[in-house]
Amino acid sequence: MRNVDLAMYQAKKTKNCVSFYEHRLLTEYLYNNDVENELKKALEKNEFHLVYQPQLGNRNNLKGVEALLRWNNSKLGNIPPDVFIPIAEKSGYMNIIGEFVIRRSLEDVHELKQQTGKQFDLSINVSVKQLQNADFYTVMVALLERFKFDASTVLLEVTESVLIEDIEQVRATIIKLKERNLRISLDDFGTGYSSLTILKNLPIDELKIDKSFVFDMLIDSKTFSMVEGIIAISQKLRIITVAEGIETEEVKNALKNLGCDIYQGYYFSKPLNKEGLKKYLQNY
DSSP code per residue over the chain: -HHHHHHHHHHHHHT-S-----HHHHHHHHHHHHHHHHHHHHTTTT-EEEEEEEEE-TTS-EEEEEEEEEEEETTTEEE-HHHHHHHHHHHT-HHHHHHHHHHHHHHHHHHHHHHH----EEEEE--HHHHH-TTHHHHHHHHHHHTT--GGGEEEEEEHHHHHHHHHHHHHHHHHHHHTT-EEEEEEETSSS-HHHHHHHS---EEEE-HHHHHHTTT-HHHHHHHHHHHHHHHHHT-EEEE----SHHHHHHHHHHT--EE-STTT---B-HHHHHHHHHH-
pLDDT tens for 73-126 read: 999 999 999 999 999 988 889 999 999 999 999 999 999 999 999 999 999 999
Q: What is the pTM of this model?
A: 0.88
Say whether both 149 and 269 belong to one domain.
Answer: yes
Say whether both 256 and 191 belong to one domain.
Answer: yes
Say whether both 254 and 116 belong to one domain.
Answer: yes
Q: Are 83 and 95 in contact (CB under 8 A)?
A: no
Cα(203)–Cα(124) distance, integer angstroms: 17
Instruction: Residue 87: give its domain's CATH number.
Output: 3.20.20.450
Measured from the Cβ of residue 199, the count of other Cβ atoms closer than 10 Å reads: 18
Say whether both 233 and 119 belong to one domain.
Answer: yes
* Res. 196: pLDDT tops 50: yes
Mean pLDDT of 198-226: 92
* Res. 174: pLDDT tops 80: yes
Say whether both 6 and 138 belong to one domain.
Answer: no
Cα(251)–Cα(228) distance, integer angstroms: 13
> Largest Cα–Cα distance in the chain?
62
Which residue range is the domain that position 9 belongs to?
1-42
Say whether both 157 and 108 belong to one domain.
Answer: yes
Range with the lowest mean pLDDT among 22-26, 81-85, 120-124, 181-185?
22-26
Our count of domains for the chain comes to 2
Range with the lowest mean pLDDT among 33-47, 179-193, 253-267?
179-193
Say whether both 91 and 155 belong to one domain.
Answer: yes
pLDDT tens for 39-72 read: 989 988 999 999 999 999 999 999 999 999 999 9
Please provide the average confidence, as pLDDT, over all residues in the chain.
Answer: 88
Say whether both 38 and 50 belong to one domain.
Answer: no
Q: Are 104 and 141 in contact (CB under 8 A)?
A: no
Say whether both 135 and 231 belong to one domain.
Answer: yes
CA dihedral 69, 72, 76, 77 (to 10 degrees): 120
Q: Give the whole-number percent of the chain exceeding pLDDT 90.
A: 68
Q: How far out from the chain centre does Cα 77 lie? A: 22
Say whether both 51 and 25 belong to one domain.
Answer: no
* Res. 217: pLDDT tops 80: yes
Say whether both 23 and 138 belong to one domain.
Answer: no
Say whether both 72 and 148 belong to one domain.
Answer: yes
Task: Name the band, by pLDDT with cuts 50, 70 and 90, for residue 161.
Answer: low
